[in-house]
Chain A
């Protein structure tokens, strides 16, 4: 589904990613961990197409397409979803309006007709249940006045609405209390299917108690320095990153 080869990227002439290689197949869950500043969020942004980051080398194939040639919205419509660490507020624009445009763009890409208002509202209600999102939130403006937990639930709600092939969740667990974490994480699990894939970026093993990864990768100074299975996350939680970093150096 996703094939990253030797990906390098710069921000303001500073190299942040220095040769990422990663292969994600349908049905898999990958966790990316690593110390602060290792390039985890940058990787997520680059895959989504954020123009702040300049790709200098490498190749990324997504569902057989050259991802780096596609615009941000083309990537999204093709089924790449980014769960934001800091979702932005769009004052005055209701979640319903926002999602309606988004969902219909995705449907257009898939060759489907736009949803009728009735079907769309029904879909909003159903998908909202996945993350126990208060139906009142969906009539409010996009993220405006949402609590930290509500914003993260709202990201997963949007993921449910858009039904992506590949979801990249950037520190979706940060700033969540225990209950919200459980709701958000089980929400992600419910959406997992054999024909889609998820990359979770996280600092903490606790998220992976719910979203059980097939692979865990450690990112350090813009490279994946170690890959393992879910047991790796437990070991990192107990021992930190030093043993890996020492080994790498």
Chain B
């Protein structure tokens, strides 16, 4: 047993592989947050009056809110006046070809294993790569615009599609929603905007790679996706961040609107810097993600693979307003060393015959704490609503924790709500069996964990699934050895 624990420790103590800083000049503003800063951000982004007003209202509201403390997280005090709220690469012009892009930046993507050109050619993925806060490169725009699809940075959307942005921004996650949503609304730097018109099926996976780079800069991404009637889109978001000693705050908001007969699949691979093996540094990831199925037969599916961040606070949710609408949440959350994660979902059933499915797979290693928190709410009018939830926890070693907090609020008697939960450990017998077939313990753990998470990984688009599988094993290297 002692040996086993030693082995597990070794794998878990693997250092973060993507820790490096890219040396690109950045344009930053003074530290701290006040009305002037909010105005300055808005001005730097050359925003219209209504946007500035929106930010200011959000800021005023944020000032009235306390930091939430209900999660199963131990959050060090954050000094919001010690954060730089805006950073943009100094060379901001749009590029027409790859040759014009800063080679340092391209090299960074290389190191991350995200060669843009390869992705463009092989995978047919349109990439809106976000480096720090300003959108650097957008591809496949032409193909998309022929179909009437809008896929651009949020800044561009505010400038070029003000009516769409005004109509939907804050409609799913209002700035009054919570502390971090208010903060984001006040200071959001950039993000992605996507609009799929009626009846259009987006022919390619849309993806954005976010990356924090400037030291001490918070990252406040804002994403808005709207799928009009009968539209379909699969959207991928993935990120890795360079290593840093200082804690970095990340408070993103993602809003999704799904109209009648439309479908949105949103997949995330999150690999922000988790801190070192002693729990020093790492990203604080406080994200609000929510989508609404507004019309009949609308479908929204969240898939996430969470391996990074020192602290994760994140509950991608579905409001099932339209009759017969469907919400899904598939999650793998892996915590190692001193990482803490409190993640899950909310399924709010409002329409008739709405269905939701939750599959959560937690993996805890090292001294980490991993919590699933999920709410299934069935409203009074949601006749025939159904939910199935499955929450599994896998423990690696004996110093980590796994917790499950399911909440049920059912106000309609016809609802059927099921919940299953399991907790397991990687058994010594499994490891012995794998070793006896010639597999190293490290490979065995990666394989067993991959098998455990397979149901969720299978929901990811192919190339993402492979990346995610790699990420799981990289994140576990050192836990067993």
| A interface residues (Cβ-Cβ under 8 A, vs B) | 48-52, 71-73, 75-77, 81-82, 84, 87-88, 90-93, 97-99, 101-102, 105-106, 109, 141-142, 158, 162
User: Complex Cα distance A84/B438, Å?
Assistant: 14
Q: Mark B418-439, 1 if CB is under 8 A from A, else 0.
A: 0000000001111011111111
Q: Are A72 and B436 in contact (CB under 8 A)?
A: yes
Which residue of B has the minimal Cβ distance to A91? Answer: B451
- Looking at B437, B439, B447, the one whose CB has the most chain A CB atoms below 10 A away is B437
Asked whether any CB of chain A lies closer than 8 Å to the CB of B455, the reply is yes
User: Complex Cα distance A194/B443, Å?
Assistant: 33
Q: Which of B433, B434, B454 meets A92, CB within 8 Å?
A: B454
Q: Using Cβ atoms and an 8 Å threshold, which residues of chain B touch A87?
A: 433
User: Complex Cα distance A10/B437, Å?
Assistant: 24
Q: Are B437 and A158 in contact (CB under 8 A)?
A: yes
User: Complex Cα distance A106/B453, Å?
Assistant: 27
Which residue of A has the minimal Cβ distance to B7? Answer: A51
Q: Are B430 and A90 in contact (CB under 8 A)?
A: yes
Which residue of A has the minimal Cβ distance to B433? Answer: A88
Q: Are A72 and B447 in contact (CB under 8 A)?
A: no
- How many A-B pairs have beta carbons closer than 8 Å: the answer is 75
User: Complex Cα distance A106/B438, Å?
Assistant: 7
Total number of B residues with any Cβ neighbor in A under 8 Å: 24
Which are the 8 A-B pairs with shortest beta-carbon distances? A92-B451, A93-B451, A72-B435, A105-B438, A76-B438, A92-B454, A102-B437, A77-B438
Asked whether any CB of chain A lies closer than 8 Å to the CB of B197, the reply is no
Cross-chain pairs A/B with CB under 8 angstroms, 18 sampled = A50-B432, A51-B432, A52-B428, A72-B432, A72-B436, A73-B435, A73-B436, A90-B433, A90-B447, A90-B451, A92-B450, A93-B448, A97-B447, A98-B434, A98-B437, A101-B443, A102-B438, A162-B437
Closest CB of chain B to A67's CB: distance in Å? 13
Q: Using Cβ atoms and an 8 Å threshold, which residues of chain B touch A48?
A: 432, 436
Q: Using Cβ atoms and an 8 Å threshold, which residues of chain B touch A92?
A: 450-455
User: Complex Cα distance A202/B427, Å?
Assistant: 27
- Looking at A76, A92, A158, the one whose CB has the most chain B CB atoms below 10 A away is A92
Closest CB of chain A to B202's CB: distance in Å? 30
Q: Are B452 and A91 in contact (CB under 8 A)?
A: yes
Q: Are B437 and A76 in contact (CB under 8 A)?
A: yes
User: Complex Cα distance A196/B450, Å?
Assistant: 34
Q: Using Cβ atoms and an 8 Å threshold, which residues of chain B touch A105?
A: 437-440
Which residue of B has the minimal Cβ distance to A74? Answer: B438
Closest CB of chain A to B263's CB: distance in Å? 26
Which residue of B has the minimal Cβ distance to A71? Answer: B435
Given A90-B433, A93-B448, A93-B451, A51-B440 contact (CB < 8 Å): no
Q: Using Cβ atoms and an 8 Å threshold, which residues of chain A touch B450?
A: 92-93
Q: Mark B65-106, 1 if CB is under 8 A from A, else 0.
A: 000000000000000000000000000000000000000000
Q: Using Cβ atoms and an 8 Å threshold, which residues of chain A touch B454?
A: 92-93
Q: Which of A49, A88, A162 meets B429, CB within 8 Å?
A: A88
Q: Are A49 and B433 in contact (CB under 8 A)?
A: no
Asked whether any CB of chain A lies closer than 8 Å to the CB of B3, the reply is yes
Which residue of A has the minimal Cβ distance to B440? Answer: A73
Q: Using Cβ atoms and an 8 Å threshold, which residues of chain B touch A109?
A: 438
Which residue of B has the minimal Cβ distance to A89? Answer: B430
User: Complex Cα distance A74/B434, Å?
Assistant: 12
Q: Are A93 and B435 in contact (CB under 8 A)?
A: no
Inter-chain pairs besides A72-B436, A92-B452, 13 sampled, C-beta below 8 Å = A50-B432, A71-B435, A72-B432, A77-B438, A88-B430, A92-B453, A93-B447, A93-B451, A98-B434, A98-B437, A102-B439, A105-B438, A162-B437
User: Complex Cα distance A141/B450, Å?
Assistant: 12
Which residue of B has the minimal Cβ distance to A98? Answer: B447
Q: Are B447 and A51 in contact (CB under 8 A)?
A: no
Q: Using Cβ atoms and an 8 Å threshold, which residues of chain A touch B436?
A: 48-49, 72-73, 75-76, 81-82, 84
User: Complex Cα distance A98/B439, Å?
Assistant: 9
Which residue of B has the minimal Cβ distance to A45? Answer: B432
Which residue of A has the minimal Cβ distance to B451? Answer: A92
Q: Using Cβ atoms and an 8 Å threshold, which residues of chain B touch A52?
A: 428
Which residue of B has the minimal Cβ distance to A108? Answer: B438
Closest CB of chain B to A139's CB: distance in Å? 13
User: Complex Cα distance A214/B357, Å?
Assistant: 59
Closest CB of chain B to A41's CB: distance in Å? 13
Closest CB of chain A to B458's CB: distance in Å? 10
Closest CB of chain B to A221's CB: distance in Å? 25
Closest CB of chain B to A229's CB: distance in Å? 30
Q: Which of A50, A81, A88, A98 meets B427, CB within 8 Å?
A: A88
